[in-house]
Amino acid sequence: MQQVAQLLLRKDFDEDWSFSDVRRKDIVRLTHSYHRYPSKYIPQLVNRLISEHSQPDDIVLDPFVGGGTTLVEGMILDRRVVGIDVNPIACLISRVKTTPI
């Protein structure tokens, strides 16, 4: 445990990744507020990770789709998205959140 603490103390954290200025209205945009799935990521974090590590038309796989945040953000960024989850409720939520009306 001390080794982990020492590593964290030595690392310079990039404040750009804090997202401390994100307001609630920015988090619940689009379909992100359809369901209060536990352990959700804020969309801004997912959006940034997808933007920095993929290109438009790339495939983004989320093997633990949960509330579908990664799928929604991937679609916004013109990625092809695939989500998998053992929880049928998670699959239903994600399908609802990503189906164009």
Cβ neighbors of 34 (< 8 A, separation 6 or more) are 93, 96, 97
How large is the angle between the packed helices 43-53 and 69-76, nearest 10 degrees?
50
How large is the angle between the packed helices 69-76 and 88-98, nearest 10 degrees?
20
Q: For 21-58, how does the pLDDT look when each residue is reduced to its tens digit (9 = 90+)?
A: 778 777 777 777 777 777 678 889 899 999 999 999 99
- The dihedrals phi and psi of 25, each to the nearest 5 degrees, come to -65, -25
CATH number for the domain formed by residue range(s) 25-98? 3.40.50.150
Domain assignments of the chain as residue spans, ordered by start: 25-98
Q: For 1-17, how does the pLDDT look when each residue is reduced to its tens digit (9 = 90+)?
A: 677 777 667 656 566 77
